[in-house]
């Protein structure tokens, strides 16, 4: 069966590590699984990722930022996500539409219904079956990435707190879709929690 999983969370939360671990475990269990990321995952998306991550002397307009993410997302859906789901593969994506809601909506202050409209246009209405939120206080996550040159990691602490609040609000609103994980647990503890949920959805042995 096809399954779309996204890992979400603030900077330094360990979501990329857990996405890779889940992908490897699915492959060991002979499940056709594809690991990708946002922004990126396609040649166009990788170019956009470099544009978005780089620090700049002048500020990037929040609207421009939103549309750049949406362009990368639309290409990823067209080239990878939709075809994979059509052939019943498991897709693991490091960030998806929820990141736009919290970063450009809660973080930058854009109108959230408008952000949702842009997301729907970019994805054709595709939504993850499971969103795994790697949650930790932003102070702790940012502490794992000192002296970063990433534009988002260099944002103010208040920005990152708004991002976390946005994630927690969305997870609370849809508890059946979200898996809230304490990202301060050990890597193996988190991997076990994630596997328990995913293997249940796929009806795999624990």
| Percentage of residues in the chain having pLDDT higher than 70 | 99
Buried b (16+ CB within 10 A) or exposed e, 143-181: eeeeeeeebbbebeeebbbbbbebbeebbeeeeeebbbb
| Percentage of residues in the chain having pLDDT higher than 90 | 89
pTM score, whole prediction: 0.95
Domains defined along the chain, listed by start: 3-202 (3.40.50.300)
Q: What is the pLDDT of residue 148?
A: 75
Closest CA to 140 of 18, 16, 12, 17: 12
pLDDT digits (tens, 9 = 90+) for 40-76: 999 999 999 999 998 887 889 999 999 999 999 999 9
């Amino acid at each position: 069966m096809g399954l779309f999983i996204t890992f979400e969370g603030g900077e330094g939360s360990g979501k990329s590590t857990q996405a890779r671990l889940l992908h490897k475990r699915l492959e060991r269990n002979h499940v056709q699984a594809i690991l990708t990321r946002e922004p990126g995952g396609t040649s166009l998306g990788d170019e956009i990722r470099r544009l978005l991550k780089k620090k700049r002397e002048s500020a990037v307009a929040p609207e421009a930022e939103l549309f750049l993410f949406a362009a990368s997302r639309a290409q990823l859906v067209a080239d990878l996500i939709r075809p994979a789901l059509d052939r019943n593969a498991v897709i693991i994506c490091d960030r998806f539409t929820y990141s736009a809601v919290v970063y450009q909506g809660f973080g930058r202050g854009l109108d959230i219904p408008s952000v949702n409209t842009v997301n729907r246009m970019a994805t054709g209405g595709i939504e993850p079956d499971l969103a795994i939120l790697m949650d930790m206080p932003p102070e702790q996550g940012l502490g794992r990435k000192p002296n970063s040159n990433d534009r988002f990691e260099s944002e103010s602490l208040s920005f990152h707190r708004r991002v976390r609040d946005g994630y927690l609000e969305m997870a609370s609103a849809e508890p059946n879709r979200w898996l809230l994980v304490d990202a301060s647990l050990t890597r193996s503890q988190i991997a076990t929690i994630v596997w328990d949920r995913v293997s249940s959805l796929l009806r795999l042995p624990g």
